[in-house]
Structure 1
Amino acid sequence: MLLLKIQSFRVWYSPQKIESRFRYHNQIGGTNQVAITDEEGKFNLNTPNQEIRLTFSFIGYQSQTLDLILPTDPLTVLMELEETSLQGVEVFATGYQEIPKERQTGSFVGLDRELINRRISTSILDRLEDVTPGLIFNRTGSTTDPISIRGRSTIFSNAAPLIIIDNFPYDGPIENINPNDVESISILRDAAAASIWGARAGNGVIVITTKKGVRGDSPRVTLVANSTWAERPDPFYQPLMSSSEVVDMERRLFSENFYLNQENSPFRTPLTPVVESLIQNREGLLSNAELQTRLESFRNLDIRNDYRDYLYQSSWNQQYNLNVIGNSGKYGYYLSAGWDENQSNLVGNQSSRYTLLSNQNLNLLDGKLELGLGINYILSTQSGSNNGPSGIRFNGAQPLYAYGSLVDDSGNSTHFTPE
């Protein structure tokens, strides 16, 4: 702070020695009279008024405005430092170096820790979804190309983006990466990435930087625990034809000889139970009363009830992570242990993951040399082969008919039930 003494028209000040070389700007309010202090902090202002308004200002300090009635007793004015905030510099990691946003020449997308942790999920892909421009997710459930950046650039080889973790290529599944260990993510979306990673960057590059001890960090221990529960899917949510409407439609199509080609096909194409029953009635193997009884039984069945009871369940995802981070100036460290247990909304499908991560950094020669050691251990297991309703087919690509059933009258599984 600065100490100013005001007496009559003259102001003396006695600042700290380190600031004695600066000069201060003073002005009478409502006028153009301005005075700058000399090296001793003195200045003069001439005014005919008894009531004046003085404004004191200096770079780095908050301006002070005082209303005075002259003559006045010596007055002390304390000037406080002005709080200034430096805007953060956005940095992108290319897997080879970190460069500011204004220096990057390609198409980049950066995600910081706050954006990554916005969604609670055990999968890093779920946290990238809907917050990363240019990252395309395959909504059809394909396991070969779940994500893409620049579209499909090849037909026969791997079309997945290149993944870089802490400046090294990673060939494992991206789902094995623990989101709690990720500090930032950069997406390289154009051909400029090929200047760094060559032909492997043709499908785009995902650069992941894990957490490390930052200089000045005191040792901190963090425990993260979250659990997500979701109700089982409702197969009746999507409006579809009812079983009764499907039976009436097949009966009308049969009367118009729609199934005649399938009946005469040398490949013996399977026909639905309604069509088979209509054929038996036409050939006299089934009476009209028996046909009506059988069709009514079909109308009372709905395969969506079995989907709900035997294929779907409530999902429950659990995530636990314990990490220690710190930096003593020359030595920084980050230790993390995580456990995830996920129960899918499909009966029998579940997965678990155990992760251990250790990042050690040692600065030598006054920061000119840095030695780093990183160890990352991942153990991931998956069980279950339930693909849901999409895995149950009646005839090739044709889905199971609406009046089908996954169990018989005794509750035993039919051949449509997935193993």
Structure 2
Amino acid sequence: MRLLSFFLFVTLLSVHGEGTAQNVSISGRSLTIEKIFTAIKKQTGFVVFGNRELLSNRKTIRLEVTNMPLKDVLAIIFKDQPVEYSLSDKTIFISPKQPSITSPGKIHLSLSPVSVIRIRVVDRNGNPLPGASVIVKASKISTLTDAQGMVDLSANEGDILQVSYVGMETSSTRVTRSLLDAGSLTITLNTTDTRLDAVEVTVNTGYQTISRERSAGAFSKPDMQTIRNRSTSMNILQRLDGLVPGLTVNSSPAAASNPLLIRGLTSIKGATAPLYVVDGIQMNDISSVNPNDVEDITVLKDATAASIWGSRASNGVIVITTKKGGKANKLTIDYDGFMSFQGKPDIEYFPVLNSRQFIQAAKETFNPVANLWSTIVALGPVHPHDQILYDQYRGLIDAPTANAKLDSLASLNNVQQIKDLWYRNGMLSNQTISIRGGGQVHSFYGSLAYTNTMSSTPGASNRSFKANLRQDLSINKNLQFFLITDLTNTLTSFKRAIAPDNRFLPYVMFKDNAGNNLSMNHLVRTDSLRKVYETRGGINLAYNPMDEYNYGETRSDGFLARITGGASINLFKGLRFEGVYGLIKGNNKTTLYDEASSYFVRAEAAMFAIPSTTGGPVTYYLPKDGAKYAVTNSNQRDWTIRNQLVYDNAWNDRKHQITLLAGQEAQNQRTNNISTTVRGYDPQLLTYSNINWEAVAKAGGTGTNTFYSSSSFILNDSYKESETETRFTSYYGNAAYTYDGKYSLNASIRSDESNLFGKDKSAQSRPVWSAGGAWLLSQERFMEDTRWINQLTLRATYGVTGNSPIPPGAASYDILSPGTILGPVTLYVSTPANKNLSWESTRSINLGLDFSLLNRRLQGSLDVYHKHTSDLIGNQPVNPFTGYTQITGNLGDIVNKGIEARIQSVNISTKDFRWSSMLVFAYNENKITELAPATAITTGGQLINNSFVKGYSAFAIFAYPFAGLDALGDPQIRLSDKTVTKAAGVAKPNDMVYAGTYQPKYNGGFSNIFQYRDFGLSVNMIYNLG
């Protein structure tokens, strides 16, 4: 939680309070004002706002009141205290007590000579500020403005008039002779930072919201203002980087949908991403959530915090709550917009060989004996430098000619062409307009947003349009409803642009000096094979990347609707019913269009072109005219039904507090994909060619593709359909008990049943559970004299969470898929059943400490954890007589351990300037302790290529032990018996060297926020080490 200090008053605060009929019972000796306010909050719901220094360092009070009205209790509390208060809308405002005040509107000072000045106090919009405090500093006498913001004040020349108002900056004005002559003055007050120190922090688990003091679990709440200020991504997950201890964020484009790990890796084949919950409903992908619509984020990390989510919570849970309107709020309209310039990728960041170095290395490593020309030609393609070297070796050209050709290649450099032709400056922009307001019965929040993502790839487009509306209806104190409707339309398109990588050697140019596009036939097949098929089919098979860019396009049009509704009904005192019902429905249409001029369309036609043996025309089994057109329609329909009872009660002067929750949840997730592909397509006439697939199969023999390099087979892909459905039914319970406001116990249990688990009863009936305790040490009597410690809490938890298998790679029954290779209709078992398949189980221990020191200028938390995951899901060896060598099963264990820390401080806080800092640190180390791989590791090469090895980190890197170069310049390795060799394939696993991990062990962030009046500066640093 951010440390925020807000001085409501410098001299005088006067807010006309409202009475309350709520009664309070408090008993105790040596009670501080802060402890009394905590008790008042628990009993009445009234919270206190103001400078915390006013609550600390005050003399203690002995208080014995029973069922006394709140306003009478406050009168007793503040009697003879240098503090005054006011009541408004369930809030107690506190301020320093001011000198005696005369009646609002007029004051006469017994000074001579004096003049009367009429003062009007307004805000920036010219609205009067009634009840503003106006004080003459020299005399310490003050007054308040009336309903029109006016006051008549007697003052002397040289006096300082100081004006203050709730939520406004204090203004000081010197009385001059010209001011006395004018007789009137208008003072405009500017708004100030109204972020106050709240007395309480709450934890939202997605099922319930409880106070931080009553929760023993490990959770983190990132600073929402920092998240909103980050404009490098519209994915709110990537904005969390460096803000949450134990949260590792992968910012690469490939990880855009699931970029997070919480407290390390707990699965090697199952889901590794956290469970995402938005407004109480699970979502697999939250990239459609607008960060500007998010009100709060809670990251649940240990078993006690996350176990209520059952067999899907081992990787942690991220709970997102979106914004809503407030009761009796004025209508407000906000605009938020940004444009982030991201530039081009730095393709020279990696130290790679230039053309001359590359050619020299190619000449030095050329070995035509080990790599026979016949083998090279068969595998293809053959790059230009290889062609030259082999031509010389085969005697087709002499050495001077070969060297001249190689020198010509060495003089070329395509870096600038790649920068100019295949990359552009990336840019991200977003515009959001939101509106909120409400009355006593109905409140609302709505927003409209437009996002334009222009990637660094030319021709790519990504635009999204969003509409969000939340409505809350409060019929009475016993009956409330809410409805959230969130709609997103995403439009994307991209050309057939290539991604220049190691396929494009440093000397390969895309344009000649005249600006003409250059062919790169060597990228697809050898010249000899290309000429054979060109002759056979009469089709030009030249490959030109620059031309291909315009020969095809992929477009998608996606629509996603997220509808969530809920009800809360108070049945009788302490007991209420809560229901949450969610529907996520979406569809996405993706079209792939490749013209007849496209190389891949030409290559398909040429592959199945059969020349006549009698000199007649060529027979084309696939059309050589017309485009290839593919359409995929993806449909998603997820629904969730949750019903629960919540019992919340306190007794014996709130010495005992208990919260009980029990409920049932059902969830269904279903996706359906239908793809159709036609050839010979005419977009103007909307016609296509009918293909005789049986004849194609005969023409292609076994169907082997000898030319079309993107595939080994030509597939009958005219129609494909797939469907995945996941069902869960769950029963859960949770209890939280607090004694004397200091000792809290938490416990939860949940049982899940799913079609993802095996049919065996032991696989289905495996409840998860957790238990934990918290001790609010700072509330103990022996801590009363330690005034520099504001809050100190010790936490300890233990529990079990789960991680369910991922469909369709694992299932409790055989999954059949249709065959697509040319020939008769076939089915095959794509996923064999495993009746004993169960979810991965993680047992975790967490010890934690929360602290707040030095009048809350320094606060933070420290956690130490140990997680042991068993029943890892992976490929398990089975008896080959089953027809399979391996199936998906439970086969191993992995352990994670780590430390997390978060420290926040207010370094400087003055009237106009504020500097606060936050440091986040996390350390995680894991090890695979048990593993039964489907295939035994017997060579060093297998060890390098194997992703997971028993006894090592899940992110382990292995390498050959380098022993230098021999006399011929060939690399050598040193085996475990000290033998040095350069022979291939002789290294065994025990010869290899463990080279560490590719996942950093240390990560976190350091942020500083500087605020000067209405101007702010945020400086953030994110680090990943080890």
Q: TM-score, normalised by structure 1?
A: 0.72
1:300 to 403, 408, 411: 411
**Local SS of the residue matching 1:297:** helix
Match runs of 1:60-75 below 5 Å? 60=83, 62=96
C-alpha distance 77-149 of structure 1, shift in aligned 2 (>3 A): closer
Q: Could you tell me how far apart the structure 2 residues matched to 1:181 and 1:198 are?
A: 28
- How far does residue 319 in structure 1 lie from its aligned partner after superposition? 0.8
Task: State whether structure 2 residue 379 is matched by structure 1 residue 379.
Answer: no
User: For the Cα contact (< 8 Å) 2:238–2:259, is it kept in 1?
Assistant: no
Q: Deviations along 1:5-29, whole A, 9 cap, x unmatched? A: xxxxxxxxxxxxx9xxxxxxxxxxx
Task: State whether structure 2 residue 389 is matched by structure 1 residue 278.
Answer: yes
- The residue aligned with 2:470 is 359
**Corresponding letter in the other structure for 1:205:** V
User: For the Cα contact (< 8 Å) 1:311–1:386, is it kept in 2?
Assistant: no
Q: Could you tell me how far apart the structure 2 residues matched to 1:378 and 1:63 are?
A: 53
**Local SS of the residue matching 1:106:** coil
Q: Could you tell me how far apart the structure 2 residues matched to 1:139 and 1:127 are?
A: 10
C-alpha distance 327-145 of structure 1, shift in aligned 2 (>3 A): closer
- The residue aligned with 1:401 is 505
C-alpha distance 179-290 of structure 1, shift in aligned 2 (>3 A): same
C-alpha distance 237-142 of structure 1, shift in aligned 2 (>3 A): closer
Q: More relative contact order in 1 or in 2 (CA 8 Å, sep 6+)?
A: 1
- How far does residue 244 in structure 1 lie from its aligned partner after superposition? 0.6
More divergent stretch after superposition (155-164 vs 211-220)? 155-164
C-alpha distance 164-292 of structure 1, shift in aligned 2 (>3 A): same
**Corresponding letter in the other structure for 2:262:** I
- The residue aligned with 1:8 is none
**Local SS of the residue matching 2:443:** strand
More divergent stretch after superposition (305-314 vs 264-273)? 264-273
- How far does residue 241 in structure 1 lie from its aligned partner after superposition? 1.9
Q: Deviations along 1:242-301, whole A, 9 cap, x unmatched? A: 1111111111223xx3x5322267474545422321221233212333223311221122
**Corresponding letter in the other structure for 2:344:** R
Task: State whether structure 2 residue 237 is matched by structure 1 residue 125.
Answer: yes
- How far does residue 378 in structure 1 lie from its aligned partner after superposition? 1.3
Query: Unaligned 5+ residue runs, structure 1?
Result: 1-17, 19-56, 66-72, 395-399
Q: Deviations along 1:161-186, whole A, 9 cap, x unmatched? A: 21111111123x22111111111111
Tell me how large the CA RMSD over aligned residues is: 3.4
Q: Could you tell me how far apart the structure 2 residues matched to 1:386 and 1:216 are?
A: 55
1:59 to 54, 60, 82: 82
Aligned length: 345
- How far does residue 340 in structure 1 lie from its aligned partner after superposition? 0.7
Match runs of 1:329-340 below 5 Å? 329-340=440-451
Q: Could you tell me how far apart the structure 2 residues matched to 1:283 and 1:342 are?
A: 53
1:207 to 295, 315, 319: 319
**Corresponding letter in the other structure for 1:261:** A
Match runs of 1:90-109 below 5 Å? 90-109=201-220
- The residue aligned with 1:110 is 221
**Corresponding letter in the other structure for 1:370:** Q
- How far does residue 407 in structure 1 lie from its aligned partner after superposition? 4.8
Q: Could you tell me how far apart the structure 2 residues matched to 1:412 and 1:402 are?
A: 15
- The residue aligned with 2:309 is 197
Q: Could you tell me how far apart the structure 1 residues matched to 2:509 and 2:214 are?
A: 62
C-alpha distance 227-265 of structure 1, shift in aligned 2 (>3 A): same
Q: Could you tell me how far apart the structure 1 residues matched to 2:239 and 2:447 are?
A: 19
Q: Could you tell me how far apart the structure 2 residues matched to 1:359 and 1:289 are?
A: 77
- The residue aligned with 2:420 is 309
- How far does residue 318 in structure 1 lie from its aligned partner after superposition? 1.9
Q: Could you tell me how far apart the structure 2 residues matched to 1:303 and 1:405 are?
A: 5
Q: Could you tell me how far apart the structure 2 residues matched to 1:112 and 1:214 are?
A: 21
- How far does residue 381 in structure 1 lie from its aligned partner after superposition? 2.8
Q: Deviations along 1:363-409, whole A, 9 cap, x unmatched? A: 232x343211111111123323778647x454xxxxx4322334567
Q: Deviations along 1:174-203, whole A, 9 cap, x unmatched? A: 211111111111111222344321111122
**Local SS of the residue matching 1:203:** coil
C-alpha distance 122-107 of structure 1, shift in aligned 2 (>3 A): same
Q: Could you tell me how far apart the structure 2 residues matched to 1:388 and 1:139 are?
A: 22
**Local SS of the residue matching 2:276:** strand
**Local SS of the residue matching 1:274:** helix
1:242 to 346, 354, 368: 354
Q: Deviations along 1:119-140, whole A, 9 cap, x unmatched? A: 1132213322232332223355
Sequence identity percentage: 27
C-alpha distance 77-247 of structure 1, shift in aligned 2 (>3 A): closer
**Corresponding letter in the other structure for 1:149:** I
C-alpha distance 135-348 of structure 1, shift in aligned 2 (>3 A): farther
Task: State whether structure 2 residue 435 is matched by structure 1 residue 324.
Answer: yes
Q: Could you tell me how far apart the structure 2 residues matched to 1:412 and 1:104 are?
A: 67
**Corresponding letter in the other structure for 2:370:** N
C-alpha distance 321-141 of structure 1, shift in aligned 2 (>3 A): closer
- The residue aligned with 1:4 is none
- The residue aligned with 1:147 is 260
User: For the Cα contact (< 8 Å) 1:150–1:190, is it kept in 2?
Assistant: no
**Corresponding letter in the other structure for 1:298:** L
- The residue aligned with 2:728 is none
Query: Unaligned 5+ residue runs, structure 2?
Result: 1-18, 20-79, 85-95, 100-109, 111-138, 144-163, 167-195, 524-544, 550-1026
- The residue aligned with 1:261 is 370
Q: Could you tell me how far apart the structure 2 residues matched to 1:388 and 1:149 are?
A: 35
- The residue aligned with 1:161 is 274
**Corresponding letter in the other structure for 2:291:** P
C-alpha distance 322-164 of structure 1, shift in aligned 2 (>3 A): same
1:174 to 279, 283, 286: 286
In terms of fraction of residues, the more strand-rich structure is 2
Q: TM-score, normalised by structure 2?
A: 0.31
